Every structure is written in structure tokens, then in C-alpha cells.
């Protein structure tokens, strides 16, 4: 069965009474070069245990199964289970789990499915939950490599450099933990039904240690979020909205200046190292203020 043939896809789905769901963001690939390239570029081998999210009708799943030791595909839509049962029949190294990836225990899935294998992720992510899924996968600290197809705009944000329009808090978050790279783009006509957006395939390589070493990681990300919360305002004013309860504008301005940053700069111009130095100096000013408080 050619799982990239529009006619065969329609016949397959008709046999199972399946209709596409806009709410679930379902778009199936019809360009065979795309899933083939994703599988090849994933670097998956027999030593790999692959977590796939949203397998659809299984075109990428089958290609991964040819390379991997084991594939575990998490599919939310139970209507696709009989479809996958047909398209993946005979592949004894594939396991399908009917679950919501945002609710299931990822650590348990990896432990139960990939014993003795190196866990990785390879998936065409549902675009309506891309950011929270990537966040959850990174925070799980379980995967050395993730090869993902996402909306192109999200891919550009993830890979963006400081000083560019796409650079933001999510860029910093991903780049703190991973080394991202954009592999190739995918046009809308590669899918059925065709989405209204372009897509892109990215690779996220887990860093052996975070890109920078702030003294307080929570404060580092609080600083990052504050810097981007009011993008049109200067850094000093953006930070004031988040730290006004503990630091004055003068103290924040001093913390920015001794970090080697102009108070008039904006968050999108700061590198990860800038944010690390800045958060450490904010921490120092906060501690100084606490130490100066009168004791009862």
C-alpha cells in the first residue's frame, strides 16, 4: 500500500469511516520524499527507541520501524487505531498507545518500551500543541535527539539568533537545553488536506550541560520572560513590570548597566550569556536589598 498516494489514502480512510478533524490539526503527508528524509535525517538505528507523536496513518512510523530497534507511537484520535492496525500490520517492533501526549507519563512510556535502547523522538507534531509538547519533551530530560516537523514559523523561532524578529523567550528556552538546527522546509501541497502554513523539519540535539550557567535557573527564565513580555518597551521598563515588588527601577537599571547592557536595549538583542549575567546581577541586587531590611 502506498501511504503517500492521495487515492489510496482516501480509500483507506473510507474503509474505516474516518474523517479529518480540524480541531486535531490532522494533515497527512502525500510527498514520499518528506517522511523518507525525516527518517534518514533522524539518525535512528537499531540501538534507538523512537517515540513518535501523532503517527496519523503510519507513513513515518513504518519507515522508522525499518531502522529502529523499537517505535512507540502515541496517537490521541482513537478513530485512527484500526487504520494503524491495518497499515502497520506485521511490524512487531511497533507499539501504538492511544493517549494524549500532554497527559501521559512520558518517563513510564520510555522505561516500559525502550529498555536497553537509546530514547529519541521523531514526529510530525500536531501544530496546535507544538510549543507545549516540545517544552514537555525537553523538560523530561529523556531524549538526546529530537527530529520534528513543525510549523515553519515555530521552527524559525526555535532557531532564531539574538537581534532577529523571530528571537523570543521560547528561542532562549530551547537553546538553553538544546542545539537546534533547521533541516528543510515543507510546502503545504505536501499534505492532504493542504494546511494554510508552510512546515519545517528541525533537529534538537540535547546539550551535555545547559548553554550557560546562571546561579539561579528559575530567576534566569523569569528574567527572560520579563524581557520579552513587553517587546516594544526598553529592557529596564520590561523588567520593572516583573520585579517592581523587589527592586526599584534605579536598581534594575544598575543591574543592567553592570551587566554590560544598555538599559535602553530590548530583550530580543540579548544573548543567552547576556541573560545569564543579567539574572545573576538581579539576584545580587535582590539579596543586597533583603540583607538591608531591618530585623525585628
Q: Say what percent of the chain tops pLDDT 90.
A: 83
Which pLDDT does position 273 carry in this prediction? 97
Indicate the pLDDT class of residue 241, thresholds 50, 70 and 90. Answer: confident
Same domain, 56 and 139: yes
Among the three residues 171, 206, 241, which one is the final residue of a domain in this structure? 206
Q: What is d(CA 268, CA 232) in angstroms, rounded to the nearest whole number?
A: 10
What is the rounded radius of gyration, in angstroms, for the C-alpha atoms of the chain?
Answer: 23
Which pLDDT does position 91 carry in this prediction? 96
Which pLDDT does position 26 carry in this prediction? 83
**Burial track 213-248 (b if 16+ CB lie within 10 A, e otherwise):** ebeeeebbbbbbbbbbebeeebbbebbbebbeeebe
Q: What is d(CA 179, CA 279) in angstroms, rounded to the nearest whole number?
A: 22
Same domain, 40 and 182: yes
Q: Per-residue pLDDT for 292 more than 70? A: no
Q: What is d(CA 240, CA 220) in angstroms, rounded to the nearest whole number?
A: 15
* pLDDT tens digits, 10-47: 999 999 999 888 777 788 999 999 999 999 999 999 99
Question: Residue 38 is part of which domain span?
Answer: 6-206
148: its cell numbers? 520534528
Would you state the torsion angle of the CA atoms of residues 124, 84, 78, 198, taken in this order, to the nearest 10 degrees?
20
34: its cell numbers? 518528506
* pLDDT tens digits, 71-115: 999 999 999 999 999 999 999 999 999 999 999 999 999 999 999
Give me the number of domains the chain comprises.
2
* pLDDT tens digits, 43-70: 999 999 999 999 999 999 999 999 999 9
Mean pLDDT rounded to a whole number for the chain: 93
Q: Per-residue pLDDT for 256 more than 60? A: yes
Q: For the purposes of burial, counting CB atoms within 10 Å of the CB of 206, is it exposed (0-12), middle (13-18) or buried (19 or more)?
A: middle
Return the CATH number at 66: 3.40.50.150
Among the three residues 206, 238, 263, which one is the final residue of a domain in this structure? 206
Indicate the pLDDT class of residue 295, thresholds 50, 70 and 90. Answer: very low
Among the three residues 206, 229, 263, which one is the final residue of a domain in this structure? 206
* pLDDT tens digits, 216-226: 999 999 999 99
* pLDDT tens digits, 125-178: 988 899 999 999 999 999 999 999 999 999 999 999 999 999 999 999 999 999
Contact 83/18 with Cβ under 8 angstroms? Answer: yes
Amino acid at each position: 500500500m502506498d501511504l503517500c498516494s492521495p487515492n489510496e489514502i482516501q480509500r483507506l480512510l473510507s474503509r474505516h469511516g474516518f474523517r479529518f478533524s480540524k480541531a486535531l490539526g490532522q494533515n497527512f503527508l502525500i510527498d514520499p520524499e518528506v517522511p523518507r528524509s525525516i527518517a534518514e535525517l533522524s539518525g535512528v538505528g537499531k540501538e534507538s527507541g523512537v517515540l513518535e507523536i501523532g503517527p496519523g496513518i503510519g507513513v513515518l512510523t513504518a519507515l522508522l520501524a525499518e531502522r529502529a530497534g523499537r517505535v512507540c507511537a502515541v496517537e490521541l484520535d482513537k478513530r485512527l487505531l484500526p487504520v494503524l492496525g491495518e497499515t502497520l500490520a506485521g511490524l512487531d517492533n511497533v507499539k501504538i498507545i492511544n493517549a494524549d501526549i500532554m497527559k501521559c507519563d512520558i518517563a513510564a512510556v520510555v522505561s516500559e518500551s525502550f529498555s536497553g535502547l537509546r530514547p529519541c523522538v521523531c514526529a510530525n507534531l500536531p501544530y496546535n500543541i507544538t510549543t507545549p509538547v516540545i517544552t514537555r519533551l525537553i523538560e523530561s530530560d529523556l531524549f538526546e535527539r529530537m527530529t520534528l516537523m513543525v510549523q515553519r514559523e515555530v521552527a524559525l523561532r526555535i532557531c532564531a539568533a539574538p537581534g532577529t524578529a523571530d528571537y523570543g523567550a521560547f528561542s532562549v528556552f530551547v537553546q538553553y537545553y538544546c542545539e537546534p538546527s533547521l533541516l528543510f522546509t515543507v510546502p503545504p501541497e505536501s499534505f492532504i488536506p493542504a494546511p494554510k502554513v508552510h512546515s519545517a523539519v528541525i533537529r534538537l540535539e540535547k546539550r551535555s550541560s545547559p548553554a550557560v550557567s546562571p546561579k539561579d535557573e528559575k530567576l534566569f527564565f523569569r528574567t527572560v520572560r520579563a524581557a520579552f513580555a513587553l517587546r516594544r518597551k526598553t529592557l529596564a521598563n520590561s523588567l520593572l513590570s516583573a520585579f517592581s515588588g523587589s527592586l526599584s527601577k534605579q536598581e534594575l537599571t544598575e543591574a543592567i548597566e553592570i551587566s554590560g547592557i544598555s538599559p535602553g536595549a530590548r530583550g530580543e538583542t540579548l544573548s543567552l550569556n547576556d541573560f545569564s549575567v543579567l539574572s545573576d546581577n538581579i539576584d545580587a541586587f535582590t539579596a543586597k536589598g533583603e540583607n538591608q531590611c531591618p530585623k525585628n
